[in-house]
Amino acid sequence: MNQNTRQNLMVCTVAAIMIGGVAWLIPAKREPGVWWFRLGAMVVLIWTIGFYYWASRRKDLAPDFLRRFGQFFEKDGFAFVVGTEVIDGVCYFLVYFQNRYERPCQATVMVRTSERFLAPQRHLPDATLSISSDAGAYGKAVSPWMLPTELQGKKVLVDVMAKRKYPRGRGKLLRVRSGLTVGSVPRSASSDVLRFLGVFWGIHAGRSARTEILLPTNVASTLSTAPEQIIQTIWKLGDAVKGDAKS
């Protein structure tokens, strides 16, 4: 159950309780029509509780590989966590991901510094990964991330954004647990303008999630030839669940 669904259920529950409570305070002899409000509030409340009970007891049809990370992010069915990994002295932007639906999807994940004007973190470049995920797939993707020397070894606060597309529709839900909803990756035409505004006023398009990342030390700050991003599918729908897939 995603954040929006939980919020909608909460609104329905509160509204039903308030309307029903007021309706029962009004004498039916004076206002016979109040019975419609009493019965309507009871129906909505029972339906909401029943739906929540059903949704909370649904079973996963694919392993929840992201459970080991605790909290994770999500963009409409594409779940992921972000971090860093050092390979041969180069820092890589790291994303572990899992597609929660039975059809393939294409996604882009971006992190961008949340720090304000004049803070040293403003020199941190954006990190972006484009990922193609099979049905229900769990995998790992990395992309080189050149870190300024003065930021290495520091903790930085970043905004987490993503966009995703299911070319053939999402299909059946395979994994029930949802993550923290993130904002949308800005379109390239507006990216520079949004960055400029964000430096002065902290404006980030569609921002709805943040995280803190510890940047590694003693890594390359520049490279003459940047390595390409790497995408590895660790598990996909139909595979046996191996021990290394869980780790």
| Rounded mean pLDDT for each run of 10 residues along the chain, 247 residues in total | 61 82 82 83 82 67 90 93 95 96 95 74 89 94 94 93 94 88 71 46 55 94 84 88 58
Rounded (5°) CA angle 118-121-124:
125
Which pLDDT score is estimated for 178? Answer: 83
Distance CA 196, CA 205 (A): 12
pLDDT at res. 86: 96
d(CA 229, CA 85): 12
pLDDT of residue 189: 44
pLDDT at 197: 46
Cα end-to-end span (Å), the chain: 25
> Which is nearest to 97 in space by CA: 111, 71, 78?
78
Interhelix angle 3-25/34-56, nearest 10 degrees = 150
Judged by DSSP in three states, 221 sits in coil
> What pLDDT sits at residue 231?
94
Is the distance from CB of 53 to CB of 13 less than 8 angstroms? no
What pLDDT score was predicted for residue 164? 94
DSSP line for 11-41: HHHHHHHHHHHHHHHS-TTT-TTHHHHHHHH
Does the reported pTM lie above 0.75? no
Q: Give, for 127, the enclosing helix (H) or strand (E).
A: strand 127-133
162 vs 50: CA distance, rounded Å: 33
pLDDT of residue 199: 42
What is d(CA 12, CA 35) in angstroms, rounded to the nearest whole number? Answer: 19
